[in-house]
Amino acid sequence: MSATPPADAAAKPKSKKLVLIIAIVLVLVLAGGGAAWFMLSKRSHGDEDEEGGGGGHQAKAAAPAAPKVAPTFLPIDNMVVNLADSGGDRFAQIGITLELADAKTSDLVKQYLPSIRSAVLMLVSQRTSEELLGREGKEKLAVDIRREVSRPLGYTVPKPRKRRASDEEDDEEAPAPKADTNPVRQVLFSSFIIQ
């Protein structure tokens, strides 16, 4: 009988060590799994934050960015116009394409196309060949045409402000320009010939 109790006593310390080793391994596995889960979830949230352009909770609070819609282009038949040069022997042949926000705007512009063409012809006929030969003259004409196309749709295009030397100092205090909601995005010239 004396041999049995020492075997039980020796088995208890071994079983305690075994239980302790299993518990430590289990804690390490759980801690490693938790750390891996945390790192993977943080990485996936980090990718979303980079795409959203913000950090953490701010990205969720901000409204999602509107998907960018491809513009609609509406070509207008070429126009031949006498210019305002002295003698009346100079003319311009101009091809215009309108960049519009969507197909709905294109349909609306088509309804007003006769009056828009007339307004564009009037605009060009008031210019001289000298004005239209330079880049600045063409850009100003494009802004004026955009204004004439936008008018029947109920939009206005502000006239560009002339810059003065004192404006450079005021630029720091100038208010930010308003967002342009005009569906007539820009006027593109597909041809521009002056003879």
Is residue 144 within 8 A of residue 151, CB to CB? The reply is no
Q: Is the dihedral of CA 45, 47, 51, 56 positive or negative?
A: positive
115 contacts: CB under 8 Å, gap ≥ 6:
152
* φ/ψ of residue 141, rounded to 5: -60, -40
Predicted pLDDT of residue 116: 93
**Which CATH number, 3.40.50.720, 3.50.50.60, 2.40.50.100, 3.30.479.30, labels domain 72-160+181-194?**
3.30.479.30
Domain boundaries, the chain: 4-60, 72-160+181-194
Query: What number of other Cβ atoms are within 10 A of residue 29's Cβ?
Result: 10
- 3-state secondary structure at position 194: strand
Predicted pLDDT of residue 56: 47
- 3-state secondary structure at position 11: helix
Nearest Cα neighbor of 121 from 87, 79, 90, 91 is 79
Question: Across the 195 residues of the chain, what is the mean pLDDT of every consecutive 10-residue run?
Answer: 55 76 84 77 57 48 65 93 89 94 92 94 94 94 93 82 52 53 92 93
Please tell me the distance from the alpha carbon of residue 157 to that of residue 178, in angstroms, as a whole number.
12
Predicted pLDDT of residue 185: 92
User: Which tens digits make up the pLDDT trace of 23-64?
Assistant: 888 888 888 877 777 777 766 555 554 445 444 445 455 556
